[in-house]
Each structure stands twice: as structure tokens, then as C-alpha cells.
Structure 1
Amino acid sequence: MYKLVILVIIITLFYFLYYQNNSLVISKLQINSRDIPNSFNKCKIVHLSDLHNKRFGNNQKKLVKAIKEINPDFIVFTGDSVDSRLYNEKPALTLLSQILEIAPVYYVTGNHEWKSGRYYTLKEKIKELGVKILDNKFSKLQKGNDYIYIMGISDPQRYSKKTRYQLFKNKLINITNKIDEDKYKILLCHRPELLPLYTSQNINLVFTGHAHGGQIRLPIIGGVFVPNQGFFPKYTSGIYNEDKTKMVVSRGLGNSSIAPQRLFNRPEIIVLILNKHNN
């Protein structure tokens, strides 16, 4: 009897840990703003981040199916499609090639693409698929008679620690100086801890990842630890508001090789709805 109880506990624990790492959750969020153009009212955006080589079924079947059922207007991916220590680009390329058939995909790098030392070859493969890579670039999204800007900043991991923040800031300022100040602006970048910088450039909406939701999440407390934020971090999941800027932080899909287990923090697909708010 004792051995049976132990066996049941072990099986239950194994299933719980597997479920935490592999069961997708869809988080439905909304942004209300008078600055959203009329043609973009009810625009649906899927936000993906931090795949880290993760597979969800054969050929990413489960993940692709979930995104297809959402039927987004466009998809954004905010970095770490690969893991630098256990580099494997196939899961990311398999995913990107399929979701491109659902909606346009916009992509920026995370720190792991740069740390892998293979980003330039990976970048060419992603571009060949038809993904729009926004490394220090911007593009216009047109709907009806209206358009908005979507910008991207390459992760600062590519720079030395001494110059990292200043170069990242310079890249963002350079882009915002090239676009119409009065238009709605979306920014894709990997790091949420730089929200004050995004706010200083009057960005309307920012999509970020990197935090993995704190990897382990505790009731009431939230995320436990995030690189570049430390213990009990401020920015881990959901929407954060600062002045006129709203930042969406994805908990991500996969795990880094040094933190292979999620707890109370299942892999996340974000669905964000833009609502034109006239009041």
C-alpha cells in the first residue's frame, strides 16, 4: 500500500510538471485608446515570445491550430525563438513558416539569438520565409484610409555592457524621429524593464517578452525572478501603463536551458484587441 501511494504521488507530480510546461493558455487582453485609428478598431493581434526551441506537438501542430482558431489580423514575435545553449532553429522555422499562412508576422530579436552567435544565418532563413524582421526598422500597417506604425528594436545583447543602454536608446530615438509623431505607434522589443525609455519616446503600445512570467509564479506575489530585473520583478505578465504608453509583457512559450521548468505559469499565447475609445 505504501509503495502504491508513493507511485501515485510520483505519477501525479510528473503529470503536473508536464502540464505546467506544455499546456497552452490563451490570454485575452484589450487596449482602449482614442488614438487608435477608426479602421483599426477591433484589430486582433497575436503576441508570441520566447519559444526557446520548444515544440508543441508534431510540427508545432497544437500551437499553429490555436493561432489559426484565433484568426488574427497580424502576429508579433518578440524574440528568443532559439536557445543559445542548446541551439536548434528548426522548431522556430517550422512555426513561422506555418503561421505566415494565417497572418503577416513581424519579428525582433531577443538576447538568445545574439548570444548563439548564429543570428545572421538564422535571420536570412527567417526572411526567406516572408517574415518581416524589424531590427531597428519600422513599417506602416494600412487598413482602409488609416495607417499605424510598427517598429522594432534589436535586442541590446549585441552591444558591450558599457554601451548597451545608450546604443539601444539611440536606435529607438533614431526610428521615432523618422516617423509621424501624431500617428499610432507600436513597438516590438524584447525587454520590458526599459518601459521608462519607451514612454519617453511617446510610444503608444509596446510588446515585450524576456521575463518568462518570472518562471515560477506565486499566488498574490507573482513572478519570482527575471534576468535584468532580479527577484520579485515589476514587469512579468500582462499590461503595464506609464503615461500614454501601454506595455504588453508575454510570459512566453518555452524555457531557457538553465531554467527548464515552469510553475503556475503555463506557456502563453496573447490575443490583444485594439478598441477605438472616443471618451
Structure 2
Amino acid sequence: MKRIFFLSVSIIIIIIIIIIMVSFFYWQNNDLVITKHVINSDKIPKGFNHYKILHLSDLHNKNFGKRQEKLVGRIKEEKPDVIVFTGDIIDRRSKDLKPAALLIDQLVELAPVYFVPGNHEWDSDLKRKLETLLMKKGVVILTNKVRIIERNGERIEMAGLDDPESGLSIRSSIKRISEKMQPDLYSIVLSHRPTWFNTYTRAGFNLVFSGHAHGGQIRLPIIGGVFAPGEGFNPKYSEGIHQQDHTSMVVSRGLGNSSFPLRIFNRPEIVVITLQSE
């Protein structure tokens, strides 16, 4: 009788542990967190004071509720002036454009959207279909291109670097956009890969948005991110703001997953940057 009792108790405890673990992993991979930063610079025109940039990255075809309603709802609350997406909105293993299409349909109703491809766009058979969709919806694809943004009679510039998976190196892409940029304007650059931070700094970019690292996938106290593609273990550029000279780089932890299916202590992230003229 005692054996049956202890066996029953053990089974109940195991079931409770499994329920707790499943709930925890679901929460870690689906509950969105919003991270906010202020970027100060005397190069930011006063006309762009309090200009709000919402940064998304690495969706990897993930759904956040029916029709992406959870993600779009959180974005709406922030009332961004512009939305930037730094690649991997699709996943190379998927043949489904629907999660990306549902998100883009709604983002363009909220603010102008700028996009640069990541390695998964270049590795996917859906790349051309995605580009056609983005252009049809009015998204600006900044593959080695520069655009001027005007506000309150003043200007800044937004540029984007193509992913090296395209066959063109980061340095070659930087050379292409640098020839088109105006040194007197505050520069914002989108690039999927954060590991080239020193190169972005030498190029003189003021503000860089990047992703790719997925926050290190698993984050631990003190250690931070555990592993990131292109950086290996204990990655230096897995999330947050990195500053060197006159360059700030914002690295998003991203929204979805790729090869490794779980996020641990690393919830999906929306980043909001507010510009402040000094």
C-alpha cells in the first residue's frame, strides 16, 4: 500500500514539474518584453528631438497570436515615428510567407518601415517573393542604399547594409553606402550582423541597428548570452547598446528562434530608441 502511495505521489510531482517547465518555456518564448533607450548626440538635429525608432529583428516566421495581434498590439502602444527591421523576418527552413506578410500588412499602417535582409533571407527560396511583398506594401528595402528622412524642416539619413551571405563583404557594402552618405547629417545604419561593430565605428556611423545574435539564445546571470551565430560561446555583441567613439550600436535579442527552438531567460524583444538632441 505504501509503495502505491509513494508511486502515486511521485507521478503527481513529475506531472507538476512538467507543467511548470512547459509553462515556463512557453512564457519565455512568447511573452514580449519592450526595452527602451535614449540616444543623446549633439549631431541629432533639434527637429528630431524625441524621434522614436522601433527596432524589430529575427522574427523567423514566428506567430504572436492570431494575425500577429500580440506583437502588433505592443507596437501600437509605443506609437513609433519609424520602424526598422534588421533581417531574418523569414526562416530558411520554412516555405510559408504568411507570418511575415501578416506582420508587414499591419506595420506599414503604423509608421514608415525600413528593412535590410539577413542571412536567412539570402538562404531562402522565398527571398524574391518576400522582396516583392515588401515593396508592394511600401516597405523601403535598404540593401546598400541611403534615404533622407525629413522632420520639422531638418534631415537625417537612414542607410542599410546587405548581408554578407549575398556574396558582397560588409566592407564592400560600407564602401557603397559611404559614397552616397552626407557626413554632416546624423546617420542611422541598419545591418543584420553586430560582429562588425569596430568596422561600423571606423566608418563613422552614428547609430547602428543590428540583430542576428538572438540574445545569446540562453542568458545566464553575470555571464549573459551563452551562444550566438558568428560569435560562438560567450558572445560580446548579443544584446543591448554598445558605444565606441561617436558610434552607438543597438543589438536586438530578436523575436523568434532558428536552429535552437527555445529561449531561456531571454524573452522576445521589441527595442524602442528615442533620439535626444544635446
Post-superposition Cα deviations, 1:61-104, rounded to whole Å, max 9, x if no partner, equal 00001001100000000000011012321101110110111100
Partner Cα distance (1:216, 1:87) in 2: 27
SS at 1:253 equivalent: coil
**Corresponding letter in the other structure for 1:271:** V
**Corresponding letter in the other structure for 1:22:** N
Q: Are the aligned partners of 2:149 and 2:158 in contact in 1 as well (CA < 8 Å)?
A: yes
**Counterpart among 9, 28, 37 of residue 17 in structure 2:** 9
Q: Residue 101 of structure 1 aligns with which residue?
A: 109
Post-superposition Cα deviations, 1:42-63, rounded to whole Å, max 9, x if no partner, equal 1111000000000000000000
The CA deviation at 1:118 is 2.7
Q: Residue 149 of structure 1 aligns with which residue?
A: 157
**Corresponding letter in the other structure for 1:223:** G
Partner Cα distance (1:117, 1:88) in 2: 10
Q: Residue 70 of structure 2 aligns with which residue?
A: 62
Q: Residue 210 of structure 1 aligns with which residue?
A: 212
Partner Cα distance (1:178, 1:80) in 2: 26
Q: Are the aligned partners of 1:53 and 1:87 in contact in 2 as well (CA < 8 Å)?
A: no
Q: Which runs of 5+ in 2 are unaligned?
A: 1-8
Q: Residue 224 of structure 2 aligns with which residue?
A: 222
The CA deviation at 1:179 is 2.0
**Corresponding letter in the other structure for 1:255:** N
Whether 1:140 and 2:145 are equivalent positions in the alignment is no
Post-superposition Cα deviations, 1:11-62, rounded to whole Å, max 9, x if no partner, equal 0000001101000000011111111100001111100000000000000000
Q: Taking structure 1 as the reference length, what is the TM-score of the superposition?
A: 0.95
**Corresponding letter in the other structure for 1:270:** V
Partner Cα distance (1:154, 1:214) in 2: 22
Q: Which runs of 5+ in 1 are unaligned?
A: none
RMSD of aligned C-alpha atoms?
Answer: 0.9
Partner Cα distance (1:87, 1:199) in 2: 37
Q: Taking structure 2 as the reference length, what is the TM-score of the superposition?
A: 0.95
Percent of counterpart pairs with the same letter?
Answer: 51
SS at 2:274 equivalent: strand
**Counterpart among 68, 73, 95 of residue 81 in structure 2:** 73
Which runs of at least 4 in structure 1 moved beyond 4 Å after TM superposition? Answer: none
Q: Residue 263 of structure 1 aligns with which residue?
A: 264
Partner Cα distance (1:228, 1:11) in 2: 35
**Counterpart among 105, 120, 124 of residue 116 in structure 1:** 124
Partner Cα distance (2:201, 2:28) in 1: 34
Whether 1:127 and 2:135 are equivalent positions in the alignment is yes
Q: Which is greater in Rg? A: 2
Partner Cα distance (1:95, 1:249) in 2: 21
